[in-house]
Structure 1
Amino acid sequence: MDQGPFSKAAADNALDRLIAIARSDTGQSRRVANFLLAWWNGEDCGHFPIADLFGVDATIATHITTIVGFLGQHEGAIYPDAFGCKAEMIELVGRWRDFGD
């Protein structure tokens, strides 16, 4: 799907916006980071409680649902690497997860 609310372009735009939010330091940014890191590696980075959507504004929730909608249209796993965001995700792990290194 090349166009529409769940297209790769829409997901790419939503991901860029979510990463920018997760780089800040607010309650919403923590929730966004939880979503992104659960997508990146939920087993090691924790899962995303669906109730976290209640703690973000409508625009952020739309970005999250855009990503979920895009992922739901594809067979197999697609991770942020597919959008060229590996470095950004590693940065978010360092910012939001303390693995006792």
Structure 2
Amino acid sequence: MDKGPFSQAAARHALDRLIEIARSDTGQARRVANFLLAWWNGEDCGHFPITDLFGVDATIATHMTTIIGFLGQHEGAIYPDAFGRKAEMIELVGRWRDFAEDG
């Protein structure tokens, strides 16, 4: 079923908007990037502090909860690359996470 607030289409739209925001230079971009990167790979990219929701506007929080609602409806793991967004996520890692090599 691809209807409703937690449908695949809604999740795709929310993800597209969140990636766009995380690529930007706004004060909310870091919080959005934290959310997306925690979903992508929390172990390596860091987790999303729930208090980051306090620092985003209602529209962004709705996009985040749309993703969470979508994920909660499915057994097993679904990541942004299931939406064809692997390249964008790699770009966000490069932008927001410093994984400088030692030495």
TM over 0.5: yes
Q: Which residue is equivalent to 1:85?
A: 85
Q: Which residue is equivalent to 1:94?
A: 94
Q: Which residue is equivalent to 1:3?
A: 3
Q: String of CA shifts for 1:41-85, please: whole Å, max 9, x gaps.
A: 000000000000000000000000000000000000000010000
Q: String of CA shifts for 1:4-39, please: whole Å, max 9, x gaps.
A: 000000000000000000001222000000000000
Q: Which residue is equivalent to 2:15?
A: 15
Letter in 2 for 1:42: G
Find runs of 4+ consecutive structure 1 residues off by over 2 angstroms.
none
Instruction: List alignment gaps of at least 5 residues for structure 1.
Output: none
Q: Report the Cα distance in structure 1 between the residues aligned to 2:10 and 2:86, rounded to whole angstroms.
A: 19
Provide the TM-score with structure 2 as the length reference. Answer: 0.96
Provide the TM-score with structure 1 as the length reference. Answer: 0.98
Alignment size in residue pairs:
101
Q: Which residue is equivalent to 1:59?
A: 59
Q: Please, what is the CA RMSD of the aligned residues?
A: 0.6
Instruction: List alignment gaps of at least 5 residues for structure 2.
Output: none
